[in-house]
Chain A
Amino acid sequence: MTPFLRLIKMTYYSCIRTLLILTIVISVNSRLFSQNELHNEINIKRFAEYLYCKGDYQRAFYEFERMQSFENNDTVHFLSALSLFRLGEYKLSSKYLSSISSTNLHVVQDLNELNLFLNTGEINLEPGKKSDYQLKLEGIKFALSGNLSNSYATAFNPDDFTYYFQQSNNINTGGKSPVLSGILSAIIPGMGQIYSGSTGDGLGGLFNIVTFGSLSYWSFTENKNFTGYLLAAFTAWFYLGNIYGAVQSANNYNYEKLTLSQNSIMDYFKKRDFYLEVNIPVCK
């Protein structure tokens, strides 16, 4: 055998030996640490992101928390804050955001603003130019109070603005006046309820008052004074109650209308994921 061939043979066997040793080492390690494999930095992150995408935000948050022992960086803090935000824990989410060093990132600022808005209904209006996101939140805030003006048109895309504007207008138009409703019921019992959309209640009230009033009148004509007074007292009680009911009926109508419009605005806002531009690649 030539020295060259011997060298090749030796190299070949030494390679095989090294590979075998490596294999055994891998095998032992994998047996010893195999379960930990699923709990290492990369796999915890993968699992946390999977949970987040699945909508299991509470477990996702705990996994992101665990990740902090491996990598305590802004991304992990942000993902924790985002999970808390999805859980409706706005205050706690803000606390996590405050530990992020790169506060100039617009998505961090936006989430912070949104947490404040959803927690308190307020917008952080520091002096200086408002960000696009602040303008959007301010627009939504005014829409919810029924005061969205055209000056916010540029903050949204046209379709969204049209929707918010219509819903906001609904809040302030077409309401029923409680005073007018009360007066109407004082003139013709039940009329206030009919004006406020509670026709059944109005007709029921009218029937009661007419029935008791007539029975009272009939009792007096028959000299049954005690029954007459008793029925008159019932009639007066129903009459006053009817006026109060008419005022409440108008208030209820307005409240229901307000709640309905505000809920539509919030639902529309939620459907657009609060205009947050958060991209978690695995969720796609």
Chain B
Amino acid sequence: MRVIFLKILLSVVLFAGDSTLTKQFEYALELYEKGNIYDSYTEFERLKFFDSNGNFVFPANYYQGFCLREAGMYELSNQKFLEAIQNAKDPALIFDSNIMIIKNLILSGDVLAVQRRIEYAKKSYTSSTQNEQLEFWRGWALMFEGKWVEASKTFTGIDEYLTSFCDSMDNESLSVTTGLILSLIPGLGQVYAGKYLEGAVSFAWNIFSGYLTINSFLNKDFAGTVLAGNFLFLRFITGNFNNTIKYIEEKNFESRKEAINQLLKNYKGQKP
């Protein structure tokens, strides 16, 4: 009789304690699923605070990472995923948290950190599936950076749709080298970047300032040559090259932004 009593008492105490935390976990998760991420974060924090055995440290940190990610706080989100990794026992969950960190880094635009993280992760994960997944995210990071050729190579054999997407984007993007060669005729590089009016104005200024400089030189007006050459011609010719690079980069950035936004909306596979 005494043994039964002790068993009941023990199970009640243990079960009640566990049930409290489980319900708190369910409550926090419910808030998260409803999109109430601020309160959900608080409730996961409460769960961690009262979880003296540390049984819920991994899931709480993991979901807090998601809350912060949804709030756009990628750096803080990664801190939570790192805390989750430190408390996770299941290798699959550790890998998943690592992928979340990589996805956050892609969204925050830190491509260098993505590359570093992937290289670091590749040392620990040697299976072909995991390697493929890491390469897949490297491809996404390269797309965010606008390195279409490298991204296409990375996606080859992993995702056909993304490979052809990168190839088409590479064909569409403008080449800075071509733009600079065209700029040897003032304004033509800017026309190549789609800035027709700017190209025409640049052409006119370069011709006019060039004429003034040469004219002053032919008239043996040394001071006038320096003045027109330094403050007009040199300024406009430099501006011609600088603007060509600027406009090409702007155009490539805009088309990349638009293409990636479309991809994030329409692509059916995994997205960062």
Q: Which residues of A contact B (CB under 8 A)?
A: 16, 19-20, 23, 26-27, 30-31, 34-35, 37-38, 43, 46-47, 50-51, 56, 59, 62, 215-216, 218-219, 222, 224, 227-228, 230-231
Q: Are A35 and B16 in contact, CB atoms less than 8 angstroms apart?
A: no
25 A-B interface contacts by CB (under 8 A): A16-B1, A20-B5, A20-B8, A26-B12, A27-B15, A30-B20, A31-B19, A34-B19, A34-B20, A34-B23, A35-B23, A43-B50, A47-B46, A47-B50, A50-B49, A56-B45, A59-B42, A62-B42, A218-B222, A218-B223, A222-B223, A227-B223, A227-B227, A228-B223, A231-B227
Q: Are A219 and B16 in contact, CB atoms less than 8 angstroms apart?
A: no
Q: Are B45 and A51 in contact, CB atoms less than 8 angstroms apart?
A: yes
Given A30-B19, A34-B20, A227-B227: 8 more A-B contacts, CB < 8 Å: A26-B12, A27-B16, A35-B23, A38-B50, A56-B45, A218-B223, A224-B223, A231-B227
Given contacts A16-B1, A218-B223, contact A23 B12 (CB under 8 A): yes
Given contacts A38-B50, A47-B46, contact A27 B12 (CB under 8 A): yes
The minimal Cβ–Cβ distance linking B252 to chain A, given in whole angstroms, is 36
Q: Which residues of B contact A59 (CB under 8 A)?
A: 42, 45
Q: Which residues of B contact A224 (CB under 8 A)?
A: 221, 223-224
Which residue of B has the minimal Cβ distance to A219? B223
Q: Which residues of B contact A (CB under 8 A)?
A: 1, 5, 8-9, 12, 15-16, 19-20, 23-24, 27, 42, 45-47, 49-50, 221-224, 226-227
Q: Are A38 and B20 in contact, CB atoms less than 8 angstroms apart?
A: yes
**Docked CA distance A50–B46 (Å):** 10
Max chain B C-beta neighbours (<10 A), residue from A35, A215, A231: A35
Which residue of A has the minimal Cβ distance to B50? A38
Q: How many A-B residue pairs have CB under 8 A?
A: 67
**Docked CA distance A11–B169 (Å):** 87
The minimal Cβ–Cβ distance linking B224 to chain A, given in whole angstroms, is 5
Q: Are A23 and B226 in contact, CB atoms less than 8 angstroms apart?
A: no
Q: Are A16 and B5 in contact, CB atoms less than 8 angstroms apart?
A: yes
Interface of A is mostly: helix
**Docked CA distance A23–B221 (Å):** 108
The minimal Cβ–Cβ distance linking B143 to chain A, given in whole angstroms, is 36
Q: Are A227 and B24 in contact, CB atoms less than 8 angstroms apart?
A: no
Given contacts A34-B16, A38-B24, contact A23 B46 (CB under 8 A): no
Max chain A C-beta neighbours (<10 A), residue from B46, B47, B50: B46
Set B9, B42, B47, B223: member contacting A23, Cβ < 8 A: B9
Which residue of A has the minimal Cβ distance to B51? A38
